[in-house]
Amino acid sequence: MEYSKSLKYHYQTKKGWINDPNGLVYYKGYYHVFYQHAPDYEIPWQEDMHWGHARTKDFLHWEELPVALFPDMPYDKDGCFSGTAIVKDDVLYLFYASICKNPPQGQSKQSVSVAYSTDGLHFEKYQGNPVIPHYPIDGCKDFRDPAVCYANGKYYCVMATGNQELKKARLALYESEDLFKWEYRGIMCDWDNARFTECPSLVPYGDKFLLSVSVCTFENHYFSVMYGAFEDGVFHIESSSEIDKGPDQYAGQIFCDHLGRAILISWMPGWKYKGFADADVGCMSVARQIFVEDGKMFTYPIEELRHLLKDSDPALVRTEDGFVVERTRRDPFVYRGKVEDLKLIRDGYVLEIFVNGGTEVYSVLL
């Protein structure tokens, strides 16, 4: 497989490591995609995490922009980890997990900080950072990936955390009126027999909400998207789906664009591929719109990308009970189940598979 050849439709950096999508937002005529980034290395943890930055008008043509956030302050000197973006009064705010391995008293190693921009290109860090300096008593030291949302006249910040003693993965909730002063509200959602959560996002959908999260169990992780009511600081799950079942996907994030669409983008192919090739093979998935109809959830490429969909690909072979995808230097990916409809997007070494109208999605590194 030709891993050195650039992808056409899946965003990837020209150089360096890329992982979680951050700060997905529509601002001043562009879709902005930020991401975890090591600018000078093709494998992670050789340097502290930055926020890379790209923009597009159609999710087909991409412009790579200068690095948006550097780990250059005392509170984030060991990394600017994942987070989200929000627009308020025509100003773009980036909320991120600020990492400091030896923090001062009253601040945990993982805290929440904010930067802002009036042009979408140049960012200034808030002088009062970190705005949430410590994890709550209901959480743990795994306290990161702020997801900021505006609802019911207030701003909310959803934090990924857990409780080791209770063996629960948790989402902690904070509330604010100005994006700078935050008050802890409690646990909005949790999962049993798990360590912690990662990379949440909370967005309005009709008169209810979509909540996405990666849940890290004691054995593996899974990515879940839930639909339900968000009331009195609690998310009430009405339906849920492991909407992208991988096998080569991680850290999805949802945002609501100016057209009212709930759009999901994920990182491919995941942590197990660090060092898999000479250069990083990481990229963003195509942009997918999420739909909920009659309590059932599905996702499909946004309208701008649907002309890329194909009915077949040489890497995928249909079988009597599903299909098989051949992968380089690894076992084939095997799907067993009834396939009434199958659509594919192939881009170099990446294959995205939409089964039965997007009720199941599989992201595969070939």
**Could you tell me what percentage of the chain is helix, strand and coil, using 3-state DSSP and rounding each to the nearest 5?**
5, 55, 40
pLDDT digits (tens, 9 = 90+) for 212-263: 999 999 988 899 999 999 999 999 999 999 989 989 999 899 999 999 999 9
Task: Answer whether residue 164 shows pLDDT above 90.
Answer: no
Catalytic annotation present for 20: yes
Of the candidates 20, 244, 248, 280, the residue annotated as catalytic is 20
The whole-number pLDDT of residue 295 equals: 84
**What residues are paired with 31 via a beta bridge?**
26, 56
Domain 17-306: CATH architecture, name and number where available? 5 Propeller (2.115)
Structure tokens at 40: 């000078």
Task: Answer whether residue 3 shows pLDDT above 90.
Answer: yes
User: How far is CA 39 from each of CA 14, 31, 45, rounded to the nearest angstrom?
Assistant: 9, 21, 11
Question: Could you tell me the pTM of the whole model?
Answer: 0.96
For residues 23 and 46, give the distance between their C-alpha atoms in angstroms, rounded to a whole number. 23
What do you get for the CA distance between the two ends of the chain, in Å? 7
The whole-number pLDDT of residue 138 equals: 93
User: How far is CA 266 from each of CA 16, 135, 229, rounded to the nearest angstrom?
Assistant: 18, 26, 24
The stretch 348-362 carries a mean pLDDT of 97
Of all residues in the chain, the percent with pLDDT exceeding 90 is 96
Q: Contact, 182 vs 174, CB < 8 A? A: yes
pLDDT digits (tens, 9 = 90+) for 286-333: 999 999 998 899 999 999 999 999 999 999 999 999 999 999 999 999
Laid out side by side, the sheet with 124-125 consists of 80-88, 91-99, 110-117, 124-125
Provide the mean pLDDT of the chain.
96
The whole-number pLDDT of residue 220 equals: 87
Residue reference for tokens 């189940």 = 337
Laid out side by side, the sheet with 144-151 consists of 144-151, 154-163, 168-176, 183-192
Q: Contact, 332 vs 324, CB < 8 A? A: yes
The whole-number pLDDT of residue 152 equals: 86
